[in-house]
Structure 1
Amino acid sequence: MQYKAFYLLPRSSYRPNMHSDTIWGAICWGMRMLYGERRLQDFLESYETGQTVGAAQPLAISSAFPYIEKDGEPEQHYLPRPLLLDAYYDDQKEGLKSYIKDKGAEGFEKGKLEARRRKLLKPTPFIELEDLKQGNWSAKGTFSIKPKVQNSPMTHNTIDRLTGSTLTSNNRGQLFHTDERYVYPDPQVDMEREKQRQYKAGIYFLAHPDSDIGTLEAIMRLLEQFGIGGDRSSGKGRFDIKIRDLEIQEHDAPNARMNLSLYHPTEAELIAYDAAPKNSPLQYKTTVRQGWKAASLKKPLLYFQEGSVFPMPDDKGIAGTNTDAGEHEEGHRITQYGIGLMINLNVPTS
């Protein structure tokens, strides 16, 4: 399937981890800025009806994943490694423990060699797109430069708004820390510095081809100027944005789907997963999301994480649903994004 890919090349560090709900929230803000509040209300309503409302239609996007570009064009893409691999590695490790036990203490070194032979290292969270297409889910990748996302805590002072100086309490300055993220190319082999300069690293997200791509492009151009996430007024979250088509070849005879976004299932989808046969390809991790609304927290919501794998349903349409996350202080309801953008896989079940 051909997706529309939005490439975000950082001009600075950025605060939030760019999950699908964070990107979608920024898109909603941009839609209101560009087209007005009525258009945004129609956009939110279109998720409930599944159809175009006014000039707005539903949008399905992924979370953001790292990529490498060379000489200004995307060169290598990364996607989540299927979580089925975690269960596979756990089984293999149990087998390795038995192997070492059978060999006795003198067989420990042989056991370590066997572990290396089986490549029983914990897999990295991302996989090169080509390896995913070919089913080489345990591959470490062959590209000579990989993107590295680094999370660094930054120290800040709390400012006294009356005096403009650092706030003092108990004769001490008040410090706090926030996480900032940087993404940069990380060479896997020795490489001349001049050659390294040809490469840059960034993050990208996908939009389903049935989405209103024209509106999304306009909004992303606005966000390119304003930034995404916290501390935008101090220059954080600024990106140069490129928009390209990206073809992802999916399996012709799939029996499973892998999630590329934070996914909040419908009740019917949960019932179907619970009723799936025991040998079905079903492996997932969950996470709780609870953002801020003005001075208080939103309602906590549970999601399936990116890389979770689910059996192929009878209805192969868009999965998941948006959810009510409470009421804002200004009186309107808060909508949290939960649509699951999926790609098809064929998972061995024997």
Structure 2
Amino acid sequence: MNYTLYCLEFINGVHFGRGNLDSSEITFHADTLFSALFQEALKMKKQDRFLKQVSDGKIIFSDAFPYIGKIYYIPKPMIAVQTEDESKQGDSRQKKKFKNLKYIPVSTLTDFVNGTFPEEHMEDMKYLGHYDMKVSVGIHGMEEPEPFRVNTWNFNTGTGLYVLAGYENESDRELLDELFESLQYTGIGGKKSSGLGRFVYKVCKVPEDMMGYLRKKSEKNILLS
């Protein structure tokens, strides 16, 4: 299987729901992406082909993960890790940072597993962006206008989300390109009618270390979707 990255640079804020409007995630899952791409496929009358290729495993894609500059992040592996630095094993502040860690640079995966994760990457996500609260007013079907709050995530310049996509042949890759091209104008996530979730996408090369892990056979694996 061939692999590529779709890097999404968001124009405005985004709202990836937790079930209500006053809270938001910073990423979205593969099922949300499939639904959004399928809607674009419907517009192009290519829904049957897209559905078949995905169902047959000819097109696969991950959840969306953060990138900062040229650093690509993956979910923190769900394994118990013992740090090699004994002086930090009882450090509660260090343990809290490690516990709150959600994503690690793909280049640090071996270090993480070996218990030598670089401390300078503990708080990378603070450089990704920031939350904001927008107050809107609902008027449709209401006697009195009723204000409500929408929580949004805003990415900093040079940051965004990427999706790792796998495909069997170039025609499948071309189909994905078409769908992402259309989706960038529609947007993804909630409150798209307010301009949220729109992005500019570009096709990025899969880093060598990430490609090495994708090709490697192992007794343990990290699920990416």
TM-score using structure 1 length:
0.50
Q: Which 4+ runs in 1 deviate beyond 6 A?
A: none
Whole-Å separation in 2 of the counterparts to 1:154 and 1:140: 36
Whole-Å separation in 2 of the counterparts to 1:213 and 1:123: 36
Q: Which residue of 2 aligns with 1:115?
A: 90
Residues 20 and 62, structure 1, Cα contact 8 Å, conserved in 2: yes
Alignment length, in residue pairs?
200
- Is 2:185 the counterpart of 1:225? yes
- Is 2:212 the counterpart of 1:254? no
Whole-Å separation in 1 of the counterparts to 2:34 and 2:119: 30
Whole-Å separation in 1 of the counterparts to 2:79 and 2:89: 22
Q: In the TM superposition, what is the alpha-carbon distance from 1:149 to its structure 2 partner?
A: 4.7
3-state secondary structure, aligned to 1:120: helix
Match of 2:78 among 76, 83, 86: 83
Residues 61 and 208, structure 1, Cα contact 8 Å, conserved in 2: yes
Change in Cα spacing, 1:31 to 1:128, as seen in structure 2 (3 Å) is same
TM-score using structure 2 length:
0.74
- Is 2:138 the counterpart of 1:131? no
Q: CA RMSD in A?
A: 3.1
* Residues 18-65 of structure 1: per-residue CA shift (max 9 Å, x gap): 21111111111111112x1xx3134324555x27xxxxxx42111111
Pairing of 1:1-350 with structure 2 (within 5 A): 3-16=3-16, 17-34=27-44, 36=45, 39-48=46-55, 50=56, 58-69=58-69, 75-85=70-80, 88=81, 115-116=90-91, 119-121=94-96, 122-132=99-109, 134-137=110-113, 139-140=117-118, 142=120, 146=125, 147-160=127-140, 167-168=143-144, 173-184=145-156, 200-210=158-168, 212-247=172-207, 248=210, 249-250=212-213, 252=216, 254-261=218-225
Q: In the TM superposition, what is the alpha-carbon distance from 1:240 to its structure 2 partner?
A: 1.4
Q: Any stretches of 5+ residues in structure 2 without a counterpart?
A: 17-26
Q: In the TM superposition, what is the alpha-carbon distance from 1:259 to its structure 2 partner?
A: 0.6
Tell which deviates more after alignment, 8-17 or 208-217: 208-217
Change in Cα spacing, 1:4 to 1:201, as seen in structure 2 (3 Å) is same
Whole-Å separation in 2 of the counterparts to 1:24 and 1:220: 11
Letter in 1 for 2:175: T
User: Matched residues, percent identical?
Assistant: 22
Residues 224 and 241, structure 1, Cα contact 8 Å, conserved in 2: yes
Residues 127 and 141, structure 1, Cα contact 8 Å, conserved in 2: no
Q: Between the two structures, name the one with larger relative contact order (CA 8 Å, sep ≥ 6).
A: 2
Compare the two structures and name the one with the higher helix fraction.
2
Q: In the TM superposition, what is the alpha-carbon distance from 1:67 to its structure 2 partner?
A: 0.6
Residues 13 and 237, structure 1, Cα contact 8 Å, conserved in 2: yes
Q: In the TM superposition, what is the alpha-carbon distance from 1:160 to its structure 2 partner?
A: 3.7
